[in-house]
Amino acid sequence: MKIIKDKREIKTIDEWYNIAPPKNKAHWVEGRSAYECAKAWLRTGKPVIPAEIINILETELLTSDLKIDCVEPECKIKFDSFGGEPRNADLAFIGKNKYGTVAVNIEAKTDETYSTTLSETITKALETLSGNSNSKKLDRIKFLTSSLFKEDKSKNPKIIDLRYQLLTAVAGSLAYAQSNNAETAVLIIHEFITNKSNKNYHQKNDDDLQCVFR
C-alpha cells in the first residue's frame, strides 16, 4: 500500500506535510488531528493501514478483506456544481474485494468541532446572499439537503441541528464512490484522544455524531 498525493509518494511525516499539508495548518502539531492522522498511517515507520481502520472495515462483509493499492491524503472531492470549496477528506482510498469496489473517506478528529449546525450555516448563507446576490451558498445547502434527505428538509427541526461538516462529509463520500464506480461508500470518523484534547469536547462531538442516527 502506498500513500500518494499529486503523483508523489509519501513515506515520512515530513513528506506528508510538504506534499499534502492540511488546510488548517494549526492542526499540524502533535496531539491535533492532521498530525495524528499522518502519524497513524506511518506509525510503523512505513505506510501501513492503521489496525483500527482495518478492524472497522472487517465488521462488514461488503468492506472486509479489501485490497488497497494506494491512499490519498487531503483529497478534494466535488459533490455539486456550485463552485466554492470542495469537500476535503483527510484521507480517501479505493479498495476491492470479491463483493466489488469500496470507496472510503476518512475524517480525522481529535476534539475539533464538526463546524456549525445546518441552521447556523443557513443563517450565514443568508447574510452572505444579502451582500452578494451571486452567492451560491444557499443553493448548495438546498441541493445538499434535498439530495441526502430526498426532499428539501432544511427547515425540519430534526435536520437543522445536524452539523454541516458531517453532511458535506456524507455527500463527499457518496460523490467519491460514484466517481470511482464503487458499489459501496464508507465514511469513517477516525478519532484521536490525546493530551491536547478535551474530554468534554470529545463528548460534544459524539453527541453531534449520534444526532445523525436519531
pLDDT of 151 reads 58
Domain ranges, ordered by start, for the chain: 2-113+165-211, 116-162
For a pLDDT cut of 90, what percent of the chain falls above it? Answer: 78
- The four Cα atoms 183, 209, 43, 50 give a dihedral, to 10 degrees, of -30
Q: Helices (DSSP H) in the chain: which residue ranges? A: 13-19, 33-41, 51-57, 118-131, 137-149, 164-179, 199-211
User: Percent of the chain at pLDDT above 70?
Assistant: 95
pLDDT at 27: 77
pLDDT in tens, 146-202: 888 865 555 565 788 899 999 999 999 999 999 999 999 999 999 999 999 999 999
Of the candidates 95, 99, 79, 98, the one whose C-alpha atom is nearest the C-alpha of residue 87 is 79
| Exposed e or buried b per residue across 173-211, where buried means at least 16 C-beta atoms within 10 angstroms of its C-beta | bbbbbeeeebebbbbbbbbbeeeebeeeebeebeebbeb
- Compute the half-sphere exposure of residue 96: CA atoms within 13 Å on the CB side of its CA: 5
DSSP notation for 155-206: T-TTTTTSBHHHHHHHHHHHHHHHHTT-SEEEEEEEE---TTS-HHHHHHHH
Q: In this predicted model, what pLDDT tens digit does every residue of 8-39 receive, in sequence order?
A: 999 999 999 999 999 888 779 999 999 999 99
Task: Average the pLDDT over 119-124 and give the result.
Answer: 94
Q: Which residue has the higher pLDDT, 145 or 172?
A: 172
Edge-to-edge strand list for the sheet holding 100-109:
8-10, 2-5, 67-77, 87-97, 100-109, 184-191
Question: What predicted TM-score, i.e. pTM, was given to this entire model?
Answer: 0.92
Give the C-alpha separation, 33 to 83, whole Å: 27
Average pLDDT (41-60) is 96
Q: Which pLDDT belongs to residue 156? A: 61
For the record, the C-alpha cell of 5 comes out as 498525493
pLDDT band at 82 (very low <50, low <70, confident <90, very high): confident
What CA–CA distances, in Å, run from 112 to 72, 77, 82, 107, 180?
Answer: 22, 21, 27, 11, 29
